Structure formats: structure tokens, C-alpha cells
A and B are shown apart, each in its own frame.
Chain A
Amino acid sequence: MSALTHQHDAPQPEDQSLAIAIGIRGVSMVYTTRGERLNALTNITLDIAEGEFVSLIGPSGCGKSTLLRVIADLLQPSTGRVEVHGKSADVARRERNYGMVFQSPVLYDWRTVERNVQLPLEIMKVSKRERAERCAELLELVGLQDFAKRYPWQLSGGMQQRVAIARALSFRPSILLMDEPFGALDEMTRERLNLELLSIWSRTGTTVVFVTHSIPEAVFLSDRIVVMTPRPGRIEHIVEVDLPRPRGAEIREDERFFRLIAEVRSRLYEH
């Protein structure tokens, strides 16, 4: 399906030995605003393997965030369906399979950092002792153990986003859905958080669907990059990222890294 000649060891959904975490089956999304029909998504079909890191990339209006929200059961598709571990997206959400991270951290101002991280656990009726344990564990994972008692507004944007990631992982969801989580951060912070995210991902084994409009970010992080085009939103191409793992900062200097960036870019502009 791809013209790539690279070798790769990224997980492949075609491989029968790998279980499918997310199966998107013919999903279309039609909005009607002021009598005008808008095709946000057209006939999207995609399988994402368990433990895979998949990025959705494309210009504004290509429906990448909409697709993420359909997977998360925050939006209902007009046609088609999403299966998560063989169950419907609705059941998957009720069984708390989704950890969400948005572009803004959406922390609760009235809760300290540790109480923000514990919020999902409180809602899920996890015991106080276990909440404290997991929170300490997660704050260490994102390097914020010294900021547990601070309030969100006392932290920098990058730190706030790390709290949001810790909160999303607190209840050990099988799937992490991230909607341009580092889009509002400066380039240096973004690159550092990219590295941290990869290390968290490799330690937790979570399936990640990552929406971005940054090509280098998508290449650096992903096993596969789903290139989407607008009007109507559909999958233009899927780029396999064959960079070795674990990936460190030095891979950004790698010739293969640049070649993949060029490949994604050409797919984006080709349309």
C-alpha cells in the first residue's frame, strides 16, 4: 500500500500475531450547519495495533481531531463504527479504556497537581492509599514529584501538560488519545516532551493515537503516520516510520529522519 522501500520493524496490523486495539470501520462524519452539508470525514478505515504509536497528520479541517473524538466516543460518526478490543467505542469508554490529553492541559485550578492527577481515580472509586501510590509513581514518571502540592497556575505550560499526561495515565488506560498535546508549547519544550513521551510509552505499552500538525514530531514519535487531507476528510496515505527504537534526540540528525520528513511533506502537498 506504500511506495516505501524501507525495512521496518514497527508493528503491523496486517500481521495476524498482533491484536488490533482500535478498528475504524468505514467511518464518515457529516455536519449540517445552516443548511450546508460538511463532510468532515469520509469512509475512514484503519486498524491500529496494540501498543502501536500512530500519528494523524494533516492541515486544519482535515478531520484529524474529529476522528480522534470519534475513537474516544466523544462524537458519534454519521456512518461506520469504531471497535476497541472488539467492543464498541461506547463500551470502551465506559470501561475506561481512554486516557485523553488535549492541546490545553485542562487542569482544575482548585486542585493541586497531585489532586488533579488523582481526579480520575477518585471518580473511579480507587482507594485513597492506592491513589496516593499511583500519583507518586506518575509524578515521578513525568518528573514532577517536587511539584505535587503546587497549583496548576504556578507551573509553566510544559509542566502543566506533563501533569495532564500523568492524569491521563493515572487509571492505566489501554489507549492514550492525544490531540495536539504539545501544539501550544515552544519548540525546545516540545522536543523534550517528545522524548519523555516516548520513554513513557515504551514503559507503559499503551496504544497511542497522536494528532499533530508538526511533521518532525510525527516522524520522531510514530510507528505509522496517517496523512489526512481535507474536503472531504479522508486518509491520503500511510507512511511507515522505520526508524529504530529506542529513539533518542540524535535521531533528529539522522539522514533517514530527514528522508521521512520529506516523504510526509510530499504526501501532504501532493493533494
Chain B
Amino acid sequence: MSAGNTARPLRVTLQFVPPAIVFVLLLAVWELGVRFFNIPYVTLPAPSRILHTIPTIDELWSDAYYTTVEEALPGFLLGSGIGFLVAVLATRWTFFARGILPYAAVTNSIPIIGMAPISVALFGAEWQSKAVIVAILTFFPMVLNAYRGLNSVDPLSLQLMRSYAANGWETFLQLRLPASLPFVFNALKINTTLAMIGAIVAEYFGGPFAGLGYYINNEAPELAMDKAWSAVVVACGIGIGAYLIVVILERIFTSWHVSYRGDG
């Protein structure tokens, strides 16, 4: 283990090197391409121009806050939470699983762009209609993954629980729940990205005069592409940040899992 401990930071650092190189190369090609071909910023602004524009937009931060905290986060928690609950109920009662799981799959086939204006009509122009869209988007990945995770337990583990005369609650708490965590975190990772996309796209279809989606939707038709791109970059940054938070939580709660084991 001691050898593994000293090698670990190096290995983690090395993990980030290839994507970092690709990222820098991509930016370089973009920057040089825009300059070399004299592409006007209303078509495609250079990365350097976007970088300089971001601090000049005062409303960007309040828009980002609105989209993330008022819309994406509640929707993410609602969709993931209900998704997990449905998976638990479906695991507990086969009848419920047969009845509800096909409909859970239906939510996945709802065209979200078509649903956005309907959601505004149903839940109003404020954050609620956006959060609902996000909730619908994030519900299915959680149901699917959590249900698989809760049912990924070894039959012998269940027989063991039965031999201890453990009740259903204890079997759930001590066996099914921990076994499901790697799957649940997978869903949460997918859902961070989906939540940002859902909230931004939902803002295109009427709503409050705030939010990153609203901002992009306003600036792009004005050909203020450096501003539109700035909002996109900020949205990306928030998405990556949220993803990293989930990854850190995942490492804390599932450090025992195969994917995180050292050389042990």
C-alpha cells in the first residue's frame, strides 16, 4: 500500500495531462484559425476575445446564478430524488416495477424542446416551469441506474441477510443501498450536465428576463456573438464544476468500489 500511496498523486496528475494537452491544442487551432482566416466575431469570436468579454458583462453572474441555483439545482434534486424513490419502490414491489417502469421509459422519449413551452403554460413563466423540465430530464437516468444498482446484489448476500433474520429495511440499508451507490453516482454525473442543458434550453421558450439561456437567446440574434459565447463558456464552467462536486462525493462515498481501489 505504501508504494501505491506515493505513486498516487503522480498517477492522478498524469491522468489530467492528455486532456489538458488536447484542450490547449484545440484553443490554439481555434485562435489561430480565426486570426488566419480573418473570421469576423459575429460568426465566431476568438477564444481570447471571449475571455476578455466575460468580465465586462455585469449581468452574466446574476444570470448564471439564476439558471443554476433557481432552475437547474431544484430540478436536478427533484428529478434525481423522485427517480431514486421510484427505483426503491420498484425494487420493493415487483408489481409497482411492472406498472411504473415502462412509464419511466416514456419520460425519456419526451421531446424536451416540445415540452418547454407546454411547461410554461402549465407552471408559469417563473423558475418553476424550468425546474420541471430539468426534473423530467434527470428523472429517467436516475430510475434506470438506481434500479439496476439496487438489484445488483449477489443472491447469496440476500440469503445471508435472510439467515440473520434481517427485515426488509435492514436489508435495504445494509445491502441494497450501498450496492446501488456506484450506479446512483453515475446517474448524478449524467444529471449535472442534463440539468444545465435543460435549464438553458427551457429559458428559450419564454420566461423570466434572466438566466443564461435568456441571455444567449437575446444576444445571438443581435450578432453579439462574443457575448453569447461568454454565456456558453460560463455555463460550461458551471457544468464542469457541478460534475466535479459529484465526482468528489462519489470518491468519498464509494471509495471501496473497484474503480477507486489502489493496488491493495
Q: Please list the residues of chain A having a beta carbon within 8 angstroms of any beta carbon in chain B.
A: 69, 72-74, 93-96, 98-100, 102, 104, 106, 108-110, 119-120, 122-124, 151, 153-154, 171
Contacts and interface: CB of A to CB of B under 8 A. Distances in A.
A106 B160 contact: yes
- Nearest 3 pairs between A and B by C-beta? A154-B264, A110-B256, A100-B163
11 contacts: A72-B159, A93-B162, A93-B165, A96-B165, A108-B175, A110-B256, A123-B164, A123-B166, A151-B256, A151-B264, A171-B164
Contacts, number: 58
A99 B159 CA distance: 11
B257 interface: yes
Nearest to A121: B164
Given A69-B159, A74-B163, 4 more contacts: A93-B165, A110-B181, A151-B256, A151-B264
Nearest to A122: B174
Contacts of B161: 123
A123 B163 contact: no
A106 B159 CA distance: 10
Contacts of B164: 96, 119-120, 123-124, 171
Interface residues on B, range: 20 to 34
A75 to B, nearest CB: 10
B170 to A, nearest CB: 5
B261 interface: yes
Contacts of A93: 162-163, 165
A106 B157 contact: yes
Nearest to A112: B256
A104 B156 contact: yes
B159 A100 contact: yes
B232 to A, nearest CB: 40
Given A93-B165, A120-B164, A74 B159 contact: yes
B178 interface: yes
Contacts of A109: 256-257
Interface string B138-166: 00000000000000001011011111111
Contact of B174 (A69, A73, A74, A123): A123
Interface centre among B154, B156, B175, B178 (most CB of A within 10 A): B156
B5 to A, nearest CB: 13
A153 to B, nearest CB: 6
Contact of A110 (B170, B178, B264): B178
Contacts of A104: 154, 156
B165 A74 contact: no
Contacts of B156: 102, 104, 106
B161 to A, nearest CB: 8
Contacts of A153: 256, 258, 261, 264
Contacts of A73: 162
Contacts of A108: 157, 174-175, 178
Contacts of A72: 159, 163
A96 B175 CA distance: 19
Contacts of A124: 164
Interface in B165-204: 165-166, 170, 174-175, 178, 181
B261 A100 contact: no
Contacts of B254: 110
Contacts of A95: 165
B166 to A, nearest CB: 5
A131 to B, nearest CB: 14
Contact of B154 (A99, A106, A123, A154): A106
A96 B162 CA distance: 10
B262 to A, nearest CB: 9
A146 B117 CA distance: 63
Contacts of B160: 100, 102, 106
A4 B55 CA distance: 95
A96 B161 CA distance: 11
B165 A94 contact: yes
Contact of B170 (A96, A100, A123, A154): A123
Interface in B243-264: 254, 256-258, 261, 264
Contacts of B258: 153
Interface centre among B157, B164, B181, B258 (most CB of A within 10 A): B164
A110 B264 CA distance: 14
A5 B178 CA distance: 56
A123 B167 CA distance: 9
A171 B256 CA distance: 26
